[in-house]
């Protein structure tokens, strides 16, 4: 297949391009800069110049492909609501371009963006947070096109990591450096799910090849890694003290991420593994955190 990939030059995007090319697919990758275009060329992808703000470049890329994988999202958290609206417009444009074709639109969400019963891990059957509860609504935006002749797949991501980045844990590191200690809330027993970036790239490729009409997938290799274990590894690597903080202090220490720092975000991938034959092979989060290149 010829696959249009947004966010193709990013942390997950480039490993995905490599995964798709090795499986025999051709890739049309969105690039907004010369550096991004050069990286895509080296990875064996065809370059499509454009950006999220230019809807025409998304539409033309989607129409020129057999399927679309949408990875792009601005992680400037000072404009989170604005970025969520930009994402909604982008998905709407991609969906409109594919309407009536039965082609696949594969979009990216997060395991923390789904509703689940307290004390239970998030599963593929759990619905996304709706209404005005959260600024990002990629699942709702994409699902609207199922009835308009588009096959839709949702990939929910946990903390995606290698030895360079680790999802929200990367932000925890930045906060710790600023505050002078690595903090966790309460006893630190709440857990975050995780997966290695190469495993995540392979899951997107399998979802591309196997999604029928509509499906949700969860790219979870580790159902939950305790925050206390995460921060203890970070403390050693950063040579900073590790300290418990109260729930009341979470907002002032973690900022906008305070509500997430104390949540148990466990998530399952049992149905995903069965549907796609996906078996994670990469190192675990703690193993990668011990070998961080920036520490």
Domain span at residue 167 reads 161-193+223-289
Q: What pLDDT is recorded for position 131?
A: 61
Same domain as 216, residue 183: no
Where the chain has pLDDT below 70, the residues are: 75-78, 80, 130-134, 294-295
Tell me how long the chain is: 295
One domain, residues 252 and 114? no
Number of domains in the chain: 2
Summarised one tens digit per residue, pLDDT across range 145-188 is 999 999 999 999 999 999 999 999 999 999 999 999 999 999 99
Specify the 3-state DSSP secondary structure of 90. helix
Pair (28, 152) in one structural domain: yes
Q: Which residue has the tokens 């690597």?
A: 237
Cβ-contact 149, 101 below 8 angstroms: yes
**What is the CATH number for 10?**
3.40.50.720
Give the pLDDT of residue 259: 84
Is residue 30 in a domain? yes
Q: Are residues 50 and 184 in the same domain?
A: no
Asked if the structure places residue 295 within a domain, the reply is no
Give pLDDT, residue 232. Answer: 97
CATH number of the domain enclosing 234: 3.90.25.10
Cα distances (angstroms) measured from residue 149 to each of 85, 153, 206: 24, 13, 21
Question: What's the pLDDT at 77?
Answer: 66
Strands, E, within 129-255: which ranges?
151-157, 159-161, 182-185, 191-196, 214-218, 222-226, 242-245
Question: For the packed helices 34-42 and 13-22, what is the interaxial angle rounded to 10 degrees?
Answer: 30
- pLDDT tens, position by position, 129-145: 866 666 788 999 999 99
Conformation bin of residue 239: beta by default, left when phi > 0, alpha when psi is -120 to 50: left
Residue 117 CB: number of other CB atoms within 10 A?
A: 9
| DSSP strand pairing (222-226 vs 191-196) | antiparallel
How would you class 118 by CB atoms within 10 Å of its CB: exposed for 0-12, middle for 13-18, buried for 19 or more?
Answer: exposed
**Residue 100 within any structural domain of the chain:** yes
Does 71 share its domain with 16? yes
Share of the chain above pLDDT 70, in %: 96
Same domain? For 254 and 205 the reply is no
CA dihedral 53, 41, 1, 93 (to 10 degrees): 0
Angle subtended at Cα 151 by Cα 160 and Cα 108, rounded to the nearest 5 degrees = 20
pLDDT at res. 115: 83
């Amino acid at each position: 297949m010829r696959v249009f990939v947004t966010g193709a030059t990013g942390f997950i995007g480039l490993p995905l391009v490599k995964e798709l090319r090795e499986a025999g697919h051709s890739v049309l990758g969105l690039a907004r800069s010369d550096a991004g275009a050069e990286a895509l060329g080296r990875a064996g992808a065809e370059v499509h110049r454009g950006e999220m703000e230019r809807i025409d470049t998304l539409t033309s890329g989607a129409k020129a492909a057999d399927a679309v994988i949408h990875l792009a999202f601005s992680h400037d958290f000072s404009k989170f609501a604005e970025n969520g609206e930009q994402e909604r417009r982008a998905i709407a444009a991609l969906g409109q371009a594919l309407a009536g074709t039965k082609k696949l639109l594969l979009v990216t969400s997060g395991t923390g963006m789904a509703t689940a019963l307290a004390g239970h891990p998030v599963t593929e059957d759990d619905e996304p947070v709706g209404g005005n509860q959260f600024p990002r609504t990629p699942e709702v935006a994409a699902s609207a096109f199922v009835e308009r002749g588009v096959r839709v797949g949702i990939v929910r991501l946990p903390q995606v990591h290698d030895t360079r980045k680790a999802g929200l844990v990367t932000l925890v590191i930045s906060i710790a450096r600023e505050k002078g200690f690595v903090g966790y809330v309460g006893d630190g027993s709440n857990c975050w799910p995780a997966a290695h970036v190469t495993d995540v790239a392979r899951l997107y490729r399998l979802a591309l090849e196997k999604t029928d009409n509509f499906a949700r997938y969860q790219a979870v290799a580790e159902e939950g890694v305790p925050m206390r274990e995460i921060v203890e590894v970070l403390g050693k690597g950063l040579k900073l003290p590790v300290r418990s903080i109260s729930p009341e202090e979470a907002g002032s220490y973690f900022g906008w991420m305070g509500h997430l720092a104390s949540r148990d975000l466990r998530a399952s991938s049992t149905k995903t593994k069965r549907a796609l034959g996906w078996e994670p092979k990469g190192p675990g989060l703690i193993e990668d955190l011990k070998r961080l290149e920036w520490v």
